[in-house]
Amino acid sequence: MAEKIAFDLVSPERLLLSAQADMVTVPGTEGYMGVMAGHSPLVSTLRAGMIDVLVDGKDDRYFIRGGFAEISPTKITVLAEEAIPMTEMDLAVLDQRISDAQEDEIAAKTDADRQKAGQMVDDLKLVRAAF
């Protein structure tokens, strides 16, 4: 039996999940990364996207809007700016978030702000495609 890794998903409002996972996939700023027991220690910023948590063959998914991940060989903790279980995600709300992000991209006054808003649009569209 493969080793498990302790996983905590925390939003500003509450602890959403605390579990012993087989694998956790998080949206790092440089791309998605899979984390299993024995992973090298790492602290990473996270972008908007989906977290996949594999526990005993069952896959739970959560939308996050950025945050941080602290990874050790035995535990991963995600501190998310916002986190919503995909089972509670409303397609209309997601479409509105995409629309709002597109408006932010158009209204951006600097290249950095435009790039950040564009990345948010892309990340939200990826979540939408996986819905």
Question: What is the extent of the structural domain holding 21?
Answer: 5-86
At a CB cut-off of 8 Å and minimum separation 6, what does 22 contact? 2, 4, 5, 36, 54, 55, 56, 57
Per the structure, how many domains does the chain have? 2
Digit-coded pLDDT (tens) for 8-47: 999 998 999 999 999 999 999 889 999 999 999 999 999 9
End-to-end CA distance of the chain: 31
Residue 65's alpha-carbon distances to 54, 58, 59, 75, in angstroms, are 20, 23, 20, 21
**71 and 18, same domain (yes or no):** yes
Same domain (yes/no): 54, 81: yes
pTM of the entire predicted model: 0.82
Averaged pLDDT, 48-57: 93
Are 23 and 67 part of one and the same domain?
A: yes
The type of residue at 124 is L
pLDDT in tens, 58-97: 999 999 989 999 999 999 999 999 998 988 888 898 899 8
66 and 95 co-located in one domain? no
Cβ(70)–Cβ(46) under 8 Å? no
Give the model's confidence band at 1: pLDDT under 50 very low, under 70 low, under 90 confident, else very high: low
